[in-house]
Structure 1
Amino acid sequence: MNQRRSLPGRIGIFIALVFIQNLSTMIMGIEGLIGRPLSEIAYALVISLVFLAVMVYFIKYYQGQLQEYNPRGFGENLSFKGKVGWIILTVVGIYAFLILVSPLLPQGTAENQQVVDQMFLNHVLGVTLYGAVLGPIIEELLYRGIFMNFFWNQKGRMYDVLAVLSSGLLFGLLHEPQLSLYLVVYSAIGVFLGMLYLKTKDIRCNMIAHILYNGITFLVMFQTL
């Protein structure tokens, strides 16, 4: 799949997948689209069905990539032996980094986080399901798994560095699509997750680490209710 397609073809397909992911997030504003409020359960059910559909599609696409062309050996070792420590180290590393840079950040929160906070107040269950579980899985499949196998599937230190930095920047732009210190912070988080993927070669480890990171964030948000 990845070897036979031209670079413009791969770029076009990846842009289409990013479009699908971004289009699916519009369901978070379904109440505005239909012009009436939904109950907590109804809202959670609707967005869960949409994001589950996207997640399943991305999983199948990712698995197809690996079956077609996988010189790096991603997903071949399904054992978690030796991987749990790297998951924990990644999450701890992210929070240690955030603690170090927090004095440098402007007061308040990033625009992306402000939107999440407001939606969280309106629909705790649905936003938590997406933000703490479904969103991280989808993002790891797309911005680590699919992206790296599309553009950086050759072996070599240079490709490793470029894969981690570029996937980190994409992750940063997803959460903060403007030049700011928050873009640097989100990109750095993406770099941590990119290094985890190259180290473990197991996208499940990335999903778990991302869920743990976001889950802790949501636990803090629950304290504000």
Structure 2
Amino acid sequence: MRRFFYFLGNIACMILAFVGYSFLQVFYFFPKQIQKKLPLTNGSLLFVTVIVTIIILGLLFYLYSKQLQEDNDWEFNERPHWDGRRITIALFGIVLAFIVSITLQAAVGLTNGKTSANQAELNQISKQAGLSYLLMVCLVAPICEEVIFRGMFFNLFDLIFDHETPASKWLGIITAGFIFGYMHDPQITKAILVYWALGCVLSWVYIRTKDLRYSILTHIGYNSFPFLLLYLASLLSLIK
């Protein structure tokens, strides 16, 4: 019975973390609306956004660490935290994520300007959010999503499977990938296959490295690379 209530507590932590993450997104995606409602100067809005970000990220990492202290049979977050092998896995994860994404987008017809509903919405948000959009997509979102969809999920999964076996690891990877996909495409269109696969790649990186730092690195790399290419392209056009 105690384990059952602890399981429910971990689910509650995931829900709380996701609510906090959703609240944080508002500051980055809709800064102008917040500025009108409060109202705040540009400097004050920046200060409030930084403070809210620190609080939310602190809460997420606290909940994640607290879960590990209570139950960590799979030995996540063990020291040392950095080594060449796991950095290589994270970098390979970035390449694998792009290969999977490009292949599946072509397979489900998301090419020639066609995109998922989630991405279309993000494209609209980017037009009015500016730099704060880039910060959220390239840095804050990968951190929050890895803590929730990898860290907290596998802490929960650890309670279901006391022993780490190949079967339990792959079931966790597939399940975590689906949850990640569903949260990005709740309408369950064909685009969910792309997000599902990306979630599986990130989960695989986390399982192989046993450390959120590496799946965060992979996620940041995947989200940031397209913007880096656009920046380089614009820089080259200026040089010409």
- Give how far 1:90 is off: 0.7
What is the CA-CA distance between 1:10 and the residue it aligns to? 3.1
Pick the structure with greater CA Rg. Answer: 2
Q: How does 1:35-114 map to 2 (within 5 A)?
A: 35=36, 45-77=47-79, 78-104=81-107, 105-106=109-110, 107-114=113-120
Partners of 1:43 and 1:126 within 8 A in 2: no
Asked if 1:183 corresponds to 2:185, the answer is: no
3-state SS of paired residue (1:35): helix
Q: Find the counterpart in structure 1 of residue 165 from structure 2.
A: 156
2:145 corresponding residue in structure 1:
139
Larger deviation, residues 184-193 vs 25-34:
25-34
Looking at structure 2, the residues matched to 96 and 87 of structure 1 have their Cα atoms a distance apart, in angstroms, of 14
Q: Deviations over 1:76-134 (max 9, x none)?
A: 13132311110111110111112222323245222222222223222332111111011
Q: What's the CA shift for 1:8?
A: 3.5
Counterpart of 2:123 in structure 1: which amino acid?
D
User: What's the CA shift for 1:175?
Assistant: 1.5
Moved more, 110-119 or 52-61: 110-119
Return closer, same or farther for 1:148/1:32 CA change in 2, 3 Å cut-off: same
Q: Once superposed, what is the RMSD of the aligned Cα atoms?
A: 2.7
Q: Residues 218, 39 of structure 1: CA spacing in aligned structure 2 closer, same or farther, 3 A cutoff?
A: farther
Question: Quick one: distance in 2 between partners of 1:43 and 1:125?
Answer: 13
CA shift in 2, pair 1:84/1:9, >3 Å: closer
Shift of 1:70: 1.0
Q: Which residue of 1 aligns with 2:237?
A: none
TM-score for the superposition, normalised by structure 1: 0.86
Report the 3-state secondary structure (helix = DSSP H, G, I; strand = E; otherwise coil) of the residue aligned with 2:92: helix
Greater mean alpha carbon deviation, residues 48-57 or residues 188-197: 48-57
5+ unaligned residues in a row in structure 1: which ranges? none
Identity of aligned residues (%): 25
Task: Give the Cα separation in 2 of the matches to 1:171 and 1:48.
Answer: 26
Whole-Å separation in 2 of the counterparts to 1:39 and 1:118? 24
Q: Which piece of structure 1 moves more, 88-97 or 169-178?
A: 169-178
Deviates further, 211-220 or 183-192: 211-220
Q: Which shifted more, 33-42 or 126-135?
A: 33-42
Identify the match of residue 218 of structure 1 among 197, 209, 227. Answer: 227
Tell me, in whole angstroms, the C-alpha distance in 1 between the residues paired with 2:169 and 2:178.
Answer: 14
SS at match of 2:186: coil
- The residue type equivalent to 1:12 in the other structure is A
Deviation larger for 118-127 or 183-192 = 118-127
* CA-CA distance at 1:34 after TM superposition: 5.1
TM-score (norm 2): 0.81
- Count of matched residue positions in the alignment of Structure 1 and Structure 2: 224
What's the CA shift for 1:26?
A: 2.8
